[in-house]
Structure 1
Amino acid sequence: MVPFWHALLGYQDRANSGEDLIDPHRRGAPFCFQRMDAPSPQRNRVHVDVWVPYDQAEARTAAALAAGGRLVNDADAPSHWVLADAEGNEACVGVAGWTGPDAGRP
């Protein structure tokens, strides 16, 4: 799952760790991943919204999909896309400052 979150967030690997990601600009919270003995039956153990500039949204979405993610919903594209990692945890890629026809919708 780490490659998906790496691509989605635009984060970097933390030094000496293949499971921790940090914001290269040091503005966002770090993400740390722990291996589990068995898959969790719950849906959406985590849901993250990532806001990026308009000119980066499609590339960020494509990178997350290429890194093993899956598209859940693109009905509101180009304002936002809903993606999921290999375990079904969802994330939205949204356009920061979107002023298009669905502005203000969650």
Structure 2
Amino acid sequence: MKILTGDVIRANLPAQWRLMNRIVRARFLTGDFATGIRFVDAVAEAAETADHHPDIDLRYLHVDLALVSHSAGGVTQRDLDMAETISGIAARLGVSAAPERLTEIEIALDSVRAESIAPFWAAVLDGDIGRVQGSAEFFSSYGGTVTENTGQVPPLWFQLTEQHETPRQRFHLDVWVPDDQAQARVERAVKAGGTVVDTSHAPSFTVLEDKQGNRACICTSGDS
């Protein structure tokens, strides 16, 4: 199926869902474990019927869900349809959503030639190179991603950079948040002692720095 653009996704996503790092995500506040089980059971039945299955993380008080069409390499109409179905299930069960609580951590590694080290990190993490997005051409132009296979480790993103001598900070955190939560997250970090270093790529990402010079990026899908 056709991969949808960010604008199309945001225009058609149910209100409970957000586009984050090329995946649509939602957090539903079930309030107790028994309600969470009923919710997950209903979602699983709908997913089987549609033959399209979300990633589900069941916790005591909430359920996190993620949708992406792995075979297509991005978000498609099937994901939007399943998101709509899941939102309907939540409404029937009286389960509310909390999109403001969504966060995803991505580890970023500055690299001059990502393709030369990606196989090593794929082996270390027992993962795949560019499972959702990435190819030889993509790596050489933009970087790429290693995603491990168990869902226990954040993805590793290779951030292309200019040639430089070590030592220099190589790893940093990309903190993905919903588009409408980014500014509040930046302001909270500044109030906690951080400094805004670069906003030239906002809303895609804003670079922050702590008092010792360590950096992190608050990232959104706002321009994709």
Change (3 A) 1:89 1:46: farther
Report the 3-state secondary structure (helix = DSSP H, G, I; strand = E; otherwise coil) of the residue aligned with 2:211.
coil
**1:70 aligned to 187, 195, 203, which one?**
195
Q: Once the two structures are superposed, what CA deviation does each residue of 1:27-79 show, in whole Å capped at 9, x if it has no partner?
A: 879xxxxxxxxxxxx54375111000011101001100111001110001122
Contact 1:43 1:89 (8 Å CA) reproduced = no
1:93 and 2:218 are equivalent in the alignment: yes
Query: Does structure 1 conserve the Cα–Cα contact (< 8 Å) formed by 2:207 and 2:216?
Result: yes
Identity %: 44
| 4+ runs deviating over 3 angstroms | none
Query: TM-score scaled to structure 1, two decimals?
Result: 0.50
Aligned: 1:51 with 2:176: yes
CA separation in 1, counterparts of 2:169 and 2:181?
Answer: 25
Relative distance call for 1:85 and 1:62 in structure 2 (3 A) is: same
Task: Point out the structure with max Rg over C-alpha.
Answer: 2
SS class of match (1:75): coil
Indicate if the aligned counterparts of 2:203 and 2:222 stay in contact, CA closer than 8 A: no
Q: How many residue pairs get matched?
A: 63
Q: Unmatched 5+ residue regions in structure 2?
A: 1-100, 106-151, 153-166
Return the TM-score normalized by structure 2.
Answer: 0.25
Instruction: Say whether the 8 Å CA contact 1:83–1:90 is kept in structure 2.
Output: yes
Contact 1:45 1:89 in 2 (8 A): no
The 1:55–1:73 alpha-carbon spacing in structure 2 relative to 1, beyond 3 Å, is: same
Whether the 8 Å CA contact 1:48–1:92 is kept in 2: the answer is yes
SS in 1 for 2:208: strand
Q: Which protein has greater RCO, CA pairs closer than 8 Å, 6+ apart?
A: 1
Letter of the 1:89 partner, please give it: N
Q: Is 1:83 aligned with 2:83?
A: no
Unaligned runs of 5+ in 1: 1-23, 30-41
Q: Cα distance 1:74–1:99, how it changes in 2: closer, same or farther (>3 A)? A: closer
Please show how residues 27-38 of structure 1 align to structure 2 within 5 Å. Answer: none
Residue 67 to residue 85, structure 1, CA distance change in 2 (3 Å):
same
